Structure 1
Amino acid sequence: MNKEKVVIVGASHGGHQSIIELLDTYKNLDITLYEAGDFVSFMSCGMELYLENKVTDVNDVRNFRPEEFEEQGVTISNNHLVKSINLDEKTIDVESDGHTETVSYDKLILSSGVTPNELPIPGKELENVFLMRGYDWATKIKSKLEDSQVKNIVVIGSGYIGIEAVEASIKAGKNVTVIDTIDRPLGTYLNSEMTDILSKELTDKGVNVVLGSKVEEFLGDQKVSSVKTDKGTFDADVVIQATGIKPNTEWLKGTIDLDDHGFIKTNEYLQTNDQDVYAVGDATLAYSIPAQKNIPIALATVARREARYVAKHIFEDKHSEAFTGVVGSSALSLFDYHFATSGLNQMSATRSGINAKSSFFKDSLRPSYIPESDNPEVFVQLTYDEKSHVILGGAVMSKYDITAQGNTIALAVQQKMTLEQLAEADFFFQPGFDRQWSLLNLAAQSALNQYKF
């Protein structure tokens, strides 16, 4: 019996999950994965743990080792760059060691991922100007954090990746400046009530926070020595750029339909403009349940859910069901604070053209008779449709780790619960853990202007 041949491009979360699901679902497949890099498969979201010495070996910061799947008959080829797709012939052109070969497929799964943005400014070629993504950059940055000659580090960008770089650099004993064009750190993830708290946390920990500022030039002689902005010049022995991402899809132009920003367009079955070519992960536009449209959501959880769906339906002539979509949830620590966010906030709701409102709730985690020393302050943000009160997103934050409650918000968004339903949802009570009305009950009741217990 001939084996159906599935080719996967990209070894990160989407590619990894695709292999797992294909092996679990089918017994007679020829599976090949091509990875452009030499390391399979570095988990960039674990970089901060490595930089802070919470992971002993950079080679362990990975989703899988090739031999794990090769033992099951899967071909894993690193240092193989897929250059083009020939849709009519159902082949791809793959380059390795200066040679190009043409490989056939029956089904093709694209998980090509994204690459970090590099600022197009003078001085970007100077030594010690780094990007915060991938195996090679992780090892370079780690060496500088351990170098006693490096005193000043400038981080460009105050999103998740930039904040991770900031914290790792501070913990390494460096003088740190963070610069961003927006006016709030983490402003695309959280509403202002929470970012105001986190901005103070940054300055309290010694970070020089420069917001609403444009970087104009990296200065130095061979090596970077300072960063020039429209708000002044800042000393820099090392610069770490964390200014967003762009889809790694340049090679697909003219073959696979892309949007104006280069993201892969897919239908409700995660097929591209060719029915035998599927796409998952950061380089695609994911269907957002709260936004009710396809938007960029660069999260490992999204890629894995998409890959799971694709593997289940990839050989159906007529798809039995559409991909239901994702919420988009994430979490981060910023020094003493921990937060989790799910779905839309006020900014992303506005971008999606949704008439949304947001509430902010602040209280203690446990009943008032619990001493303050064992009763942490907690914050909850809820974003909801102004008319229907359907919950579109939210966030939780505290110096105590309550991030697991972000998963409850995610479930509420996925199930399209209203504020009224969350206000009365049945959660447990035990004073060592929570209130008589749980934290999320109270946050929803507060959004409805109901009596505060």
Structure 2
Amino acid sequence: MKIAVIGSTHAGTAAVTNMAELYPEAEITVYERNDNVSFLSCGLALYVGGVVEDPKGLFYSSPEKLRALGISLKLQHDVLNIDTDNQVIEAVNLVTGEQLTDRYDKLVMSTGSWPVTPPIPGIELENVLLAKNYNQANTIIDKAKQAEHVTVVGAGYIGVELVEAFEKAGKQVTLIDGVDRILNKYLDEEFTNLVEQDFQSRGIELRLGESVKEFSGAEKVEAVVTDKGRVETDLVIMCVGFRPNTGLLKGKVAMLDNGAIKVNEYMQTSDPAIYSAGDCCAVKYNPTGKHAYIPLATNAVRMGTLVAKNIIQPTMKNIGTQGTSGLHIFDLNMASTGLTETSALALGVNVKNITINEKHRPEFMPTSEDVQLKISYEPETRKILGAQVISKADVTQSINTLSVCVQTGMTIDELGYVDFFFQPHFNQPWNFMNKAGLAAAL
């Protein structure tokens, strides 16, 4: 059995390490463009901000570890073409220029995603940078040393984390986004308002609802020109989103409109010999029951592991995802799962919402922080479809609990009576999740 794997970050590394253990007789070959494997891009901002001092901690495997498992690892090799009819790969060694072909019995597509780079005039200027892989992180660190003003374009997770890192490093920071608020894909307005107010109190300039029209400068970027003004700057980090890296299979397997590969519950594409995992493919989104593009490291590792389980024969189904994620920014902890009111409206899903504001533990304790929790549920069945939480206290694990509630179809009414422990150090006699369920029943 010859198994070829294209790409070795989260999903690819999870797939090959498990396949090497499960199928020691298999001949596994990995093709990877970079000179490293398994970089945790979700730790990029922590590395840039100096929280992570040793970058080795951002790699959960290494070429040496993979080769020790008997895997043939072809680093700095770019796959040029996949002949799916004859099950042949054509690749090039990026160092020597040597071209090669390889046959496969099974193919794992784990090519991940790549930052969106809009065709903005001046985007090729020096100091307009992307934020995705290890080499780009090192470039950001190097360029930021000489920068006094940094502009981040894109207010998603990586964008706001970089804003925090640069502000803590003493830089002047501007955050630009075409949408009128930050983190709009993850949190509703009453949550993002709290984060925006915190940013502004720290002197961070927010230019929301503005579109970048041009990067201005001679050789290096000197300013960002938007439809509402101009920002003088020394360094620009582009964080406007990611697109699936699937050009090699375009027209050869079923995809979503954005190019994300569709897979069945066993991670198999519409071509029976090809499996896919990670940021290059779509996944079943449990709140709607449909395929969705949700590029998260957690999804990628699970999918890569499932590919290994199922590549010889169907063994374990993918139970889908709620898109559960969390974030720590300055003094605030926030997390979400499933549908928000905003995303439900965009998808045409009718939801009801209950929002509560509580103290995370009794006020007789030395400290007691505010907690804001919002739960979205289906009006007819009253099944929980999503939730969001924010607090200075770290109560984000509640969102993992509510993720299970969404996955298993629990109703908002049942949530009111779930057995949660009480201990004054941690919570209230009625847990705030219970209180949300009880309030929705009124």
Q: TM-score, normalised by structure 2?
A: 0.96
Q: How far did residue 320 of structure 1 move? A: 5.2
Q: 1:167 aligns with which of 164, 169, 176?
A: 164
- Distance in structure 2 (CA, Å) of the matches to 1:38 and 1:20: 18
Contact 2:174–2:207 under 8 Å retained in 1: yes
Q: 1:267 aligns with which of 239, 264, 267?
A: 264
Name the amino acid aligned to 2:426. Answer: F
**Counterpart for residue 358 of structure 1:** 353
- Deviation per residue, 1:395-435 (Å, 9 max, x gap): 22111111122211111111111101111100000111111
**Counterpart for residue 338 of structure 1:** 333
Q: How far did residue 122 of structure 1 move? A: 0.9
Q: 1:392 aligns with which of 366, 375, 385?
A: 385
Is 1:100 matched up with 2:99?
Answer: yes
- Distance in structure 1 (CA, Å) of the matches to 2:33 and 2:315: 34
The 5-angstrom pairing of residues 248-267 of structure 1 reads: 248-267=245-264
SS at match of 2:262: coil
Q: Which moved more, 1:344-353 or 1:430-439?
A: 344-353
- Distance in structure 2 (CA, Å) of the matches to 1:113 and 1:264: 11
**Counterpart for residue 395 of structure 2:** 402
The 5-angstrom pairing of residues 300-315 of structure 1 reads: 300-315=297-312
SS at match of 1:395: strand
- Deviation per residue, 1:111-147 (Å, 9 max, x gap): 0110001121111111100111111210111113333
Q: 1:154 aligns with which of 132, 151, 156?
A: 151
Q: Structure 1 pair 30/229, CA: closer, same or farther in 2 (3 Å)?
A: same
Name the amino acid aligned to 1:46. Answer: G
Contact 1:146–1:172 under 8 Å retained in 2: no
**Counterpart for residue 122 of structure 1:** 121
**Counterpart for residue 406 of structure 2:** 413
Unaligned residue ranges in structure 2 (runs of 5+): none
- Distance in structure 2 (CA, Å) of the matches to 1:152 and 1:27: 53
Q: 2:362 aligns with which of 348, 360, 367?
A: 367
Unaligned residue ranges in structure 1 (runs of 5+): none
- Deviation per residue, 1:314-333 (Å, 9 max, x gap): 112xx356422122211111
- Distance in structure 1 (CA, Å) of the matches to 2:187 and 2:315: 37
Contact 1:257–1:273 under 8 Å retained in 2: yes
Pairwise CA RMSD: 1.5
**Counterpart for residue 217 of structure 1:** 214
**Counterpart for residue 47 of structure 1:** 44
- Distance in structure 1 (CA, Å) of the matches to 2:438 and 2:144: 46
SS at match of 2:163: helix
Contact 2:306–2:316 under 8 Å retained in 1: no
Contact 2:110–2:276 under 8 Å retained in 1: yes
Name the amino acid aligned to 2:338. Answer: G
SS at match of 1:33: strand
Name the amino acid aligned to 1:422. Answer: L
**Counterpart for residue 288 of structure 2:** 291
Name the amino acid aligned to 1:80. Answer: H
SS at match of 2:162: helix
Q: 1:81 aligns with which of 66, 74, 78?
A: 78
Contact 1:193–1:360 under 8 Å retained in 2: no
Is 1:192 matched up with 2:189?
Answer: yes
- Distance in structure 1 (CA, Å) of the matches to 2:351 and 2:256: 26
- Deviation per residue, 1:284-326 (Å, 9 max, x gap): 111011121000010111112212222112112xx35642212
**Counterpart for residue 201 of structure 2:** 204
Name the amino acid aligned to 1:379. Answer: Q
Q: How far did residue 174 of structure 1 move? A: 0.6
Q: Which moved more, 1:135-144 or 1:275-284?
A: 135-144
**Counterpart for residue 32 of structure 2:** 35
- Distance in structure 2 (CA, Å) of the matches to 1:135 and 1:257: 31
- Distance in structure 2 (CA, Å) of the matches to 1:43 and 1:263: 21
- Distance in structure 2 (CA, Å) of the matches to 1:58 and 1:126: 27
**Counterpart for residue 141 of structure 1:** 140
Contact 1:58–1:139 under 8 Å retained in 2: no
Contact 1:132–1:138 under 8 Å retained in 2: yes
- Distance in structure 1 (CA, Å) of the matches to 2:351 and 2:54: 45
- Distance in structure 1 (CA, Å) of the matches to 2:124 and 2:204: 26
- Distance in structure 2 (CA, Å) of the matches to 1:268 and 1:56: 39
Name the amino acid aligned to 2:353. Answer: S
- Distance in structure 1 (CA, Å) of the matches to 2:242 and 2:315: 34
**Counterpart for residue 378 of structure 1:** 371
Contact 2:15–2:306 under 8 Å retained in 1: no
**Counterpart for residue 421 of structure 2:** 428
- Distance in structure 2 (CA, Å) of the matches to 1:98 and 1:152: 40
Contact 1:391–1:418 under 8 Å retained in 2: yes
Contact 1:13–1:63 under 8 Å retained in 2: no
- Distance in structure 2 (CA, Å) of the matches to 1:171 and 1:292: 41
- Distance in structure 2 (CA, Å) of the matches to 1:417 and 1:423: 11
Q: How far did residue 256 of structure 1 move? A: 2.7
| Corresponding pairs, count | 440
SS at match of 1:268: coil
- Distance in structure 2 (CA, Å) of the matches to 1:64 and 1:11: 10
Q: Structure 1 pair 137/320, CA: closer, same or farther in 2 (3 Å)?
A: closer
SS at match of 1:221: coil
Q: How far did residue 446 of structure 1 move? A: 2.3
SS at match of 2:222: strand
- Distance in structure 1 (CA, Å) of the matches to 2:27 and 2:373: 48
Is 1:323 matched up with 2:318?
Answer: yes
SS at match of 1:303: helix
